Chains A and B, each alone.
Chain A
């Protein structure tokens, strides 16, 4: 359904005075999503997860240049096509209630979403009623303002926005931060349900555990690039390939709980070779020569030249 290949995003910033500065925040990023599948995008903050979502929706700021290939249903995703598709075929589920207009009743806002997706006013109204009922949101919730919603209600309202638009591709951007574990599970199940209905779902999160609960595949981002796209079961089967993925996995409390030392390179100071080379335990001279290409190792792509060891 969606395929992103070799995506690069560069921001032009004005440094002191008129000196321009180019800041490459996403390099050689790859991702693909099929219908009926949940693909989790996992990485630390600053790894380019949200920017990817904004690039797919065509809502990057004006000073961003995008290169690379993005295909939606086989056709290139140009800026014009993004404009036509967003809100209709591609929907975003935002991070928090802060993404709703604070002065507008939520029912009205979800209805507006439905109308923007092409429904007539009565059809949109009906879609909102139906969707709210589906997510056990009482009719009165429609007349509440965002600040009046509880954490769980807020999540369900935000999921509703994607459902009323009948989008085929749903991008959920960090849908579970700071939530009660029950609400997390509920939200994740809603996303899984959407995939079962045949939609493609991208779950952007820094929470690898949450991702593994529902994802079919997990794309691991590091410093603006995709280092590995693993199958969900690879994690428990000890088949994950990239040293960063393995380190992430080991850092979980139920595993060895060893934090990864060092920090992600900033866009101003990316290494020439492999982006992980300054923290990698396996690093060799060869790694520092050029960015590793995608290699197929144990049935999945990984950007590491020593992954097959």
Chain B
């Protein structure tokens, strides 16, 4: 088994390397072909004060006069040594910006992830156990409508109801304005992340609920549940002893694999709530042509999503006895 997992990890790491190289090539080509002029983007509003000669010097310094291939290799070398460059809009190393922004997002993402997972699982179990009932139909209706509605729209709706009309949640940001970071309490933080997290959860439950429902129906129609019924097991007993055991693994896998959607959703949700996390930084970087930051985020999100998928695959290897033990024997 140890050997199996080691080989599995090695294969996965190799794939990750390939993925990152592919991402690097794509980002480089796309940005080279994009209309953004790196010097314009860097200098910004001071453009008028720069003479064409100075411009040429900068271009030379940066190696912009080199052929594309040479530039790519130079850039790759920098990347490999861990240097992602400096963010233009924040005037800080890209890794620092991503680090601090991600920390802000992380709490929100974690809460959204846990909430959507737990809620979705519960909804799926209820719907599956009572398949065909009005409760099942209501849950399914909810899941289908929510799965089809855009994140920013749900975010705006929540903002209108809870922040504008009811005034029980803050209208923006991760902390109250005018309070020093070190003075912000945990409750204030929670208060600020509740709406963006709720937005992501409300949408996130749809997938897992529908999937769990389907899976539970399959389990309830299985031979082993028929046998359990023949032994006098009740519906609740069947769900407790056989249902959860058999649906938790696929649910977990799905939930880890959904990190990509969660990340994508956070870009929109953070924008609506002006929540200064990584998602908002993405939009800012894109709107203001902060190429180094944008590329840094592209790499980071690829890594993030890949890790999610990796954990999803790994849970099967570790949790499912048929794979865990089956491989060794």
Beyond A59-B230, A83-B232, whether A101 also contacts B246 by CB under 8 A is yes
Interchain CB contact under 8 A, B231 and A87: yes
Interchain CB contact under 8 A, B232 and A100: no
**Nearest CB to that of A146 among chain B residues?**
B224
Interchain CB contact under 8 A, A103 and B241: no
Contact of A99 among B227, B233, B237, B241 (CB under 8 A): B227
B229 at the interface (CB under 8 A from A): yes
Interchain CB contact under 8 A, B224 and A99: yes
A148 at the interface (CB under 8 A from B): yes
Bound Cα distance from A112 to B228, whole angstroms = 9
**Nearest CB to that of A147 among chain B residues?**
B322
Residues of B within 8 A of A77 (CB): none
A57 at the interface (CB under 8 A from B): yes
Contact of B329 among A88, A148, A165 (CB under 8 A): A148
Interchain CB contact under 8 A, B242 and A101: yes
Which residues 245-272 of B sit at the A interface, judged by CB distance below 8 A? 245-246, 249
Bound Cα distance from A112 to B229, whole angstroms = 12
Bound Cα distance from A289 to B311, whole angstroms = 69
Which residues 62-104 of A sit at the B interface, judged by CB distance below 8 A? 83, 86-88, 91-92, 94, 96, 98-104
Bound Cα distance from A98 to B326, whole angstroms = 16
Contact of B227 among A92, A102, A165 (CB under 8 A): A92
Residues of A within 8 A of B322 (CB): 102-103, 145, 147
Which residues 191-231 of B sit at the A interface, judged by CB distance below 8 A? 223-224, 226-231
Contact of B230 among A92, A96, A98, A102 (CB under 8 A): A92
Which residues 160-180 of B sit at the A interface, judged by CB distance below 8 A? none
Interchain CB contact under 8 A, B232 and A87: yes
Interchain CB contact under 8 A, B241 and A104: yes
Bound Cα distance from A91 to B233, whole angstroms = 12
Bound Cα distance from A44 to B322, whole angstroms = 34
Which residues 282-329 of B sit at the A interface, judged by CB distance below 8 A? 320-322, 325-326, 329
**Nearest CB to that of B226 among chain A residues?**
A59
Bound Cα distance from A99 to B249, whole angstroms = 20
Interchain CB contact under 8 A, B224 and A98: yes
A307 at the interface (CB under 8 A from B): no
Interchain CB contact under 8 A, A116 and B224: no
A131 at the interface (CB under 8 A from B): no
Whole-angstrom distance from the CB of A27 to the nearest CB of chain B?
24
A245 at the interface (CB under 8 A from B): no
Question: Interface size on A (CB < 8 Å)?
Answer: 26
Q: Mark A219-238, 1 if CB is under 8 A from B, else 0.
A: 00000000000000000000
**Nearest CB to that of B230 among chain A residues?**
A92
Whole-angstrom distance from the CB of A233 to the nearest CB of chain B?
32
Interchain CB contact under 8 A, A87 and B326: no
Contact of B231 among A98, A104, A147, A161 (CB under 8 A): A161
Interchain CB contact under 8 A, A147 and B233: no
Which residues 153-194 of A sit at the B interface, judged by CB distance below 8 A? 161, 165
Interchain CB contact under 8 A, B325 and A113: no
Residues of A within 8 A of B229 (CB): 57, 59, 86
Interchain CB contact under 8 A, B232 and A99: no
| Interface hub of B229, B245, B326, B329 (most chain A Cβ within 10 A) | B229
Whole-angstrom distance from the CB of A115 to the nearest CB of chain B?
10
Contact of B321 among A86, A92, A98, A145 (CB under 8 A): A145
Which residues 99-124 of A sit at the B interface, judged by CB distance below 8 A? 99-104, 112-113, 116-117
Interchain CB contact under 8 A, B242 and A104: yes
Residues of A within 8 A of B233 (CB): 87, 112, 116
Residues of A within 8 A of B246 (CB): 101-103
A selection of 30 A-B contacts at a CB cut-off of 8 Å is: A57-B229, A59-B226, A59-B229, A86-B232, A87-B231, A91-B230, A92-B230, A92-B231, A94-B223, A99-B224, A100-B227, A101-B242, A102-B322, A103-B245, A103-B246, A103-B249, A103-B320, A103-B321, A104-B245, A112-B231, A113-B231, A116-B231, A116-B233, A117-B231, A117-B232, A145-B321, A145-B325, A147-B321, A147-B322, A148-B325
Name B residues whose Cβ lies closer than 8 Å to a Cβ of A.
223-224, 226-233, 237, 241-242, 245-246, 249, 320-322, 325-326, 329
Q: Which 7 A-B pairs have the closest CB atoms?
A: A87-B232, A87-B231, A99-B227, A92-B230, A145-B321, A99-B223, A101-B224
For the A-B complex with A87-B232, A92-B231, A116-B231 known, give 12 more contacts whose Cβ atoms are closer than 8 Å. A87-B230, A87-B231, A92-B227, A94-B223, A94-B227, A99-B223, A100-B227, A101-B224, A101-B245, A113-B231, A116-B233, A117-B231
